[in-house]
Amino acid sequence: MATTIIKFSNSKTLHPMHFKQHFDIPADLTYLNTPGNGIIPRQVHDWRRQREVAFFDLKGSLRDQQADLVNSVRQTIASTFAAKSEQVFCTPNFSFGYSTLLDRLPRTYTFLLLNEDYPSLNYPIISRGFAFHSIDITHHVEEDILQAVKKYKPDVFILSLVQYITGVKIGLDFIKTLKATFPDLLIIGDGTQFFGTEPFTFQDAGFDAIGGSGYKWLLSGFGNGFMLLGDRLIELLETPLRDIPRPKEAMWANKSILQTFFEPGHQETLSHGTLGQSLAFLQSQGLENIQQHVQHLSLIAHEELNNRALLLPEVALREERSTLINIQVSPTRYAEFMEAGISCFPRGTGIRIGIHLYNTEDDIHRLLRIVDQH
Ligand SMILES: Cc1ncc(COP(=O)(O)O)c(C=O)c1O
């Protein structure tokens, strides 16, 4: 059977199966700001509109089924990331889940941090008065982490898998090695700039905890996120709570003790539901396929930018590459990029872009044309 080829007005031809067909992106816009916030798939947008109407229909019952909705999203998060549903906590964003976790850890714990990691990771350690050491991120950051763990013997290592300013990505294989080498070290991760770009299997990843917000690479809008906790950490957190009486009210009878900390009160079901819908969308597209696509484009972008000496040295010298790139042109060129229809953001010493499933090779070439205009 002949294959129909979809024509996009702003580009050459795209295969009908191209991910971009699931998004409404104006022809004169090159959307590269996923590290800021990602685009919601059209079908998920439609779901939101219908859900909002049905939810506030006075004759409807959705407002009485909030726990069911959150539990179904919990299952979807669990199935997407190969976790058990009792290891999943649905939170309004990464920061809430993470600071709730910190507040349940012994005050005597010491931490290892990465300098210039996202403020929601490092500042809560400082503001709570925990003892910590921190190291700079160089192109051999993995080796530096191993040395620092040996030297400082922290109880906990905290990291964003993909750094939000530089795009430096700490390899998943390294996390497994780190865990195997130091089994007692708790590893707490932030996957906000990572989840949605490739498959992730929580059960053998080596993390004791990892969380994320949904509005970037998970295409889910604001107000949703999650924290995944490993069995050993759950045990550690639950032990001091064993003697505390459990809530007796019927409305909390089904909550686990940790849910009373991570999921207190009512949740915004439109937001959580959006995460559930977008995860189902990502699953339907296949995270392996998405990974192949974004890595292919990211490789082209890295190569082109490297040829122009526009990559950060700690990125250029590494093999592991993420889909978040900080282009070393002056951040003052931000307005020029935006006027040319390149959606991006000034960060650190350059301009930050991200390449996701809805991007194309044309997007990279359009970006490079603007980069080269100086
Ligand atoms: C590395 C990283 N982690 C987490 C977040 C988001 O956390 P939150 O939604 O809690 O602000 C961001 C957002 O920019 C980020 O870049």
Claim to verify: residue 114 and residue 230 sit in the same structural domain: yes
pLDDT for the residue numbered 3: 36
331: in domain = yes
Q: Give mean pLDDT, residues 113-119.
A: 97
Nearest CA to ligand 1 atom 5: 192
Q: How many domains does the chain have?
A: 2
pLDDT at 215 over 60: yes
CB crowding 59-75: b at 16 or more within 10 Å, else e: eeebeeeeeebbeebbe
192 lines ligand 1 (CB under 6 A): yes
Q: Which residues contact 61 (CB under 8 A, 6 or more apart)?
A: none
Claim to verify: residue 86 and residue 172 sit in the same structural domain: yes
Portion of the chain with pLDDT greater than 90, in percent: 92
267 lines ligand 1 (CB under 6 A): no
356: in domain = yes
* CA of residue 118 to ligand 1 center, whole Å: 7
Q: Which of 284, 308, 333 is the last residue of a domain?
A: 284
pLDDT for the residue numbered 15: 61
pLDDT for the residue numbered 8: 35
Claim to verify: residue 136 and residue 233 sit in the same structural domain: yes
**Mind listing the pLDDT tens digit for each residue in 118-130?**
999 999 999 999 9
Indicate which CATH number applies to the domain containing 213: 3.40.640.10
Claim to verify: residue 253 and residue 335 sit in the same structural domain: no
Claim to verify: residue 263 and residue 306 sit in the same structural domain: no
Claim to verify: residue 103 and residue 195 sit in the same structural domain: yes
**Helix or strand or coil: residue 110?**
strand
Indicate which CATH number applies to the domain containing 300: 3.90.1150.10
User: How far is the C-alpha of 260 from the C-alpha of 271, rounded, in Å?
Assistant: 20
For 172-181, which contacts have Cβ atoms below 8 Å and span 24 or more sequence positions?
172/200, 172/205, 172/206, 174/142, 174/145, 175/205, 175/206, 175/207, 176/204, 176/205, 176/206, 177/206, 178/145, 178/146, 178/149, 178/206, 179/206, 179/207, 180/206, 181/146
pLDDT at 111 over 60: yes
The two beta strands, 13-14 and 6-7, are antiparallel
> With bands split at pLDDT 50, 70 and 90, how would you rate the model's confidence at 323?
very high
Portion of the chain with pLDDT greater than 70, in percent: 95
pLDDT for the residue numbered 374: 77
Alpha-carbon dihedral 358, 364, 370, 373, rounded to 10 degrees: 180
Indicate the top mutation candidate among 33, 168, 213 to test ligand 1's pocket, ranked by most ligand atoms within 8 A of CB: 213
Claim to verify: residue 213 and residue 267 sit in the same structural domain: yes
193 lines ligand 1 (CB under 6 A): yes
Claim to verify: residue 280 and residue 354 sit in the same structural domain: no
* CA of residue 53 to ligand 1 center, whole Å: 30
1: in domain = no
Indicate the top mutation candidate among 94, 226, 271 to test ligand 1's pocket, ranked by most ligand atoms within 8 A of CB: 94
**What's the residue count for the chain?**
374
Domain limits at 263?
48-284
94 lines ligand 1 (CB under 6 A): yes
Its pTM stands at 0.94
User: How far is the C-alpha of 198 from the C-alpha of 73, rounded, in Å?
Assistant: 20
Claim to verify: residue 222 and residue 321 sit in the same structural domain: no
Claim to verify: residue 313 and residue 338 sit in the same structural domain: yes
Claim to verify: residue 132 and residue 175 sit in the same structural domain: yes
* CA of residue 213 to ligand 1 center, whole Å: 6
Q: Is 129 left (phi over 0), alpha (psi -120 to 50) or beta?
A: left
Of 1-15, 205-219, 294-308, 354-368, the one with minimum mean pLDDT is 1-15
Q: Which of 237, 266, 284 is the last residue of a domain?
A: 284
pLDDT for the residue numbered 4: 38
Which atom of ligand 1 lies at the shortest distance from residue 163's CA? 1
**Helix or strand or coil: residue 142?**
helix
**Mind listing the pLDDT tens digit for each residue in 137-157?**
999 999 999 999 999 999 999
281 lines ligand 1 (CB under 6 A): no
Claim to verify: residue 106 and residue 246 sit in the same structural domain: yes
